[in-house]
Amino acid sequence: MRDEDPHASTRGHERAGKMATSRLSYRQFRWLFLGIIGTLYFLTCLHRMSPAVIARDLALSFNADAVALGVISSTYFYCYSAAQPVVGYLSDTIGPRRVMTIFFGMAALGSLIFALAPNTAVAAFGRALVGAGVGGVFIPGLKLFSAWYRSNEFSALTGMMIAVGGLAGLSATLPLTLVAVRIGWRSTFVGIAVLSFVLVALCWIIIRDRPEEKGWQAIPGGGNAPSGESDGKAEQSLGRRLGLVFSNADFWKISLATFFTSGVSLTFQGLWGVPYLMDVFDFDRLRAGRYIMLFPLGFAMGGPVVGSIMGRSQLDPRKTLMSMVTCALAGWTVIFFIGDKDVLPIVACLLFLFGFTAGGTLPVSFTLTRDLFPSQVMGTAVGLMNTAPFLGAAVYQPFTGFILSRAPAPMPESYSQAAYRNLLILFILSNAIALAAASLLKYRARRG
């Protein structure tokens, strides 16, 4: 970050922030700081997965078919992906605190618009604002971590963020289902919007880009995380950095593998998982919500467990990625042949497996991308690779809606087992392509 104070024009707000936290010790402030960022990311992931449990409500409210539902849900992912390069650049220039505040304010407004939408077009616009807005949380969060925490704490914080995402995914299943059933989906999202506006205010008042802005000393070893490279370097060599990233064949292979695996997992968990269980196994919505909770539970465990094992055992990230994709491919192949209520324990295990492999591929993909490039290019590379999973979901959600709508439906707002089998064929082929891309990586561990 730059040496000069990036908030010299807002000293009144800075004084207000200092007064609000003047009685806190440095350690207490960091916990408060971490809690705000963690809650922001929790809502980010809650928004990501929420359409699955309210898909039927949206269909009834807007008289929408599967394609329309896919479009409403996918706008989040298109706008989230598009926001990533912009967020990275603005975090380097105006500071991560301002980026988080401005972008999450946009997400809060989008949530309110979505809740009050009279038709699919307005609902899609609201989801688009939410997607772009919450896109301003993860990368600024990593940049803040790099300034406020030592380098040896950074990987643990990244794992914590993945776990928070998994917890949000869990909350977007049965808990969100219960709330939506009790007070309605519209009131639910109004409540999320109100909470979001409160967090925006807390973010602006409390969070600071660097410890020095609170009168504390800079962290020894801080600023060494992938997203924490110096602003001057980033600005001087932006064009060359982009050229280095885009000219690297392995970067595209990693992005391709992530595109297909995340496109499948985010689409199933975030949109079609609950309808699948209801239509194929004749579940009611609450029971389907309980079962689908196994997916985010696996996700929450997959990231920290695989990341920890890799760090301690020095496993080859390329082989680890191939193992994760192979397990997912085998799981989707097994579930393709399942449609009998007598095998529900197998379905439960597979849902957990899908979540575990989805969460486990994330630290592996970030490690592979990091190791491809020198430190001055690492932040750009990781940020650009982070668009692949969400772009995959953005493409898959309307496309899978189209696939489901092509098969005859047994009744309105439901889909046949044959339609879901077509969907599962797509998931199997997608994971096979991801496995092929991973196997072609020419991985070499980073030196130094």
For the stretch 328-353, pLDDT in tens is 999 999 999 887 667 888 999 999 99
Q: What is the pLDDT of residues 235-292, one digit of tens each?
A: 445 677 778 888 999 999 999 999 999 999 989 987 888 889 998 888 887 888 788 8
Would you say residue 447 has pLDDT above 50?
A: no
CB atoms within 10 A of CB 246: 11
For the chain, the average pLDDT equals 80
The letter for the amino acid at 315 is L
What the chain holds in terms of domains, given with CATH numbers, is 8-439 (1.20.1250.20)
For the ranges 15-19, 294-298, 368-372, the maximum mean pLDDT occurs at: 294-298
Q: Identify the helix (H) or strand (E) that includes residue 327.
A: helix 317-336
CB neighbour burial string for 414-444, b if at least 16 within 10 angstroms, e if fewer:
ebbeebbeebbebbbebbbebbebbeebebe
Looking at the chain, the whole-number percentage of residues with pLDDT higher than 90 is 25
Between CA 423 and CA 441 the distance in angstroms is 28
Model pTM score: 0.69
| CA distance linking residue 261 with residue 433, whole number of Å | 9
Q: Is the pLDDT of residue 5 over 60?
A: no
What's the distance, CA 52 to chain centroid?
15
Please determine, for residue 6, whether its predicted confidence score (pLDDT) is greater than 70.
no
Say which amino acid occupies 42: F
Q: Using the predicted structure, report yes or no on whether residue 94 has a pLDDT greater than 60.
A: yes
Give yes or no for a contact between 43 and 397, defined as CB atoms under 8 angstroms apart: no
